[in-house]
Chains A and B, each alone.
Chain A
Amino acid sequence: MDFVRDLFVNLANAWTAWISGFMPAWLATLVNYLVVGILLVLIPVIATLALTWMERKVIGRIQNRPGPNRVGPWGIFQGIADAVKLLIKEDIVPDRADKPVFNLAPLLIFIAAALLWTVLPFGRGLVGQDLNIGVLYLVAIGSITTISVLMAGWSSNNKFALIGAFRVVAQLLSYEIPMVLSMAAVVLFANSMKMGEIVEKQIVPFGLALPLAMIIYILAAIAETGRAPFDLLEADSEIVAGYFIEYSGLKFGWFYIAEYSNLLAVSAIATTLFLGGWRGPGAEAAPALGPFYFIAKTILVVFLLMWIRGTWPRFRIDQMLALAWKVLVPASLANLLWIAVVVKLPMPAAAQWAFALAGNLAILLATLTMLGRAAKRYAAA
């Protein structure tokens, strides 16, 4: 029974003990790294197969149509059919493209998407490596996406792709600031950048103490993954497909996989930072439940993002930039300073939670009031 209670960690320990029996310690470590690495690198692929189906079904239901329902029961094999199609499709490289950069961009975007999964804790002890700079690592790896998207847009030698690349620079850079600042608020509150430790400190999820930081993070995350309503970089009705317009076959496929992997990754980060990660009823006594809570919460956030995509129209570029610089950046700066003040107050933890929550709600209210006034001015002009 004790074995089942922490099933995954015990299985891993048993496996390590078994392979250590007939190979030197360094080789056993290397084999473990390889096994964990291969498991983690498959997450983007599995995420794409599962989430494309889920997204089509959800968006389909929102638009009052059934979604895919031909390949397999409820269309669940649609993703596999698409994967086979991408695999056997001809690869077209335009004559005027900058070929080395053109070929490198899909690789780089996939590497960035996969490396994000290094630090995300699926349960207690179930993490690729719990780096002590976890949150900073996520920010650093996440910004590689910007470079590879810019590489793709520039090297395609296509005007639509170039416009898409410019929009990427404007959008991803602008929304990186509020995202980083809202993550910093969590780091300040938890006093650690380790993802595992941040989860351990959430006896009550941080989303209940820092709702403003959570809202800012989720808005910025939608923009960072380039999904509607922030899908200007691949706005299909304006610039066809944006930066990956010239890509076909599996090279396009890597962009697609990176997009869905990033969707799942930002949801998993939001879960870890704000929703208590793998914590849940019974997860203390039986850590094997952790991964199930983690995945359930992540899918819930993914569903929220799909819901937003299905119901909001696309932002115009000036509105998109104004939201980032004139609303989210000041709000997240104010939030960060307030959290810094609260953490310094000599109070028990519960009082700090209450003060943090009150400040968050006050800043949120002030922001919404100012937004309402600006909207009125805008409508009158």
Chain B
Amino acid sequence: MLSQYAFVGVFAIIAVALPIIGLTVAQLLRPKKPNPLKNSTYECGVETIGDTWVQFKAQYYLYALIFVVFDVEAAFIFPWAVAYNKLGLYALVEMILFVAILAGGLLYAWRKGALDWH
């Protein structure tokens, strides 16, 4: 059981090592001639105006919020789905209630126009 995760750990180390080895090899092979013009931001050929890290559209944030609600739900659904056969009829009723509350939330967001792109 635990040794299974030991494999995941070993595999993760190998997966970290491969790109690092690749980048090291590339560093030995590739040319390195930086100059200010080359290192400027690649946008449209002239000097970039203003800061990039500015305030952004709040709509993206709304989607992230709705996502969090449903993602927590997903974390609840998986154990429910695996243990479902052992839980009796109560599990079904419970999940119907749970999904109904979530669907209500989704409907609310929908009606409020949170799902429309302005």
Contacts and interface: CB of A to CB of B under 8 A. Distances in A.
Interface of A: 29-30, 33-34, 36-38, 40-41, 86-96, 106-107, 110-111, 114-115, 118, 128-131, 133, 135-136, 139, 154, 157-160, 162, 166, 169-170, 173-174, 176-177, 180-181, 184, 187-188, 191-193, 240, 245-246, 249-251, 253-254, 317-318, 321-322, 325-326, 329-330, 333, 336-337, 340-341, 343-344
A191 B18 CA distance: 36
A38 B27 CA distance: 23
A343 B85 CA distance: 8
By Cβ-Cβ distance, the 7 closest A-B pairs, closest first, are A318-B117, A114-B15, A188-B81, A173-B67, A37-B14, A250-B26, A180-B74
Given A162-B52, A343-B84, A129 B33 contact: no
B6 to A, nearest CB: 7
Contacts of B74: 139, 177, 180-181, 184
A326 B39 contact: no
Contacts of B42: 94, 158, 240, 245-246
Given A158-B52, A173-B63, A188 B7 contact: no
The interface residues of chain A, by DSSP majority, are classed as: helix
Interface residues of B, number: 65
Contacts, number: 194
Given A110-B15, A184-B74, A115 B103 contact: no
A251 B23 contact: yes
Given A115-B8, A177-B67, 19 more contacts: A36-B11, A88-B29, A89-B30, A90-B30, A91-B32, A94-B42, A129-B4, A131-B8, A159-B43, A159-B48, A162-B53, A166-B56, A166-B60, A169-B64, A191-B81, A192-B82, A321-B63, A321-B115, A343-B84
B10 A34 contact: yes
Interface of B: 3-8, 10-16, 18-20, 22-23, 25-27, 29-34, 36, 38-43, 48, 52-53, 56-57, 60, 63-64, 66-67, 70-71, 74, 77-78, 81-82, 84-85, 89, 92, 95-96, 99, 102-103, 106, 110, 115-117
11 contacts: A36-B7, A37-B11, A91-B30, A130-B4, A162-B52, A166-B60, A170-B60, A173-B64, A191-B81, A192-B82, A246-B42
Contacts of B7: 33, 36-37, 118, 128-129
Given A160-B43, A176-B67, A317 B78 contact: no
A328 to B, nearest CB: 12
A180 B32 CA distance: 44
Contacts of B96: 337, 340
Given A92-B38, A114-B18, A128-B11, A181 B26 contact: no
Nearest to A250: B26
A41 B57 contact: no
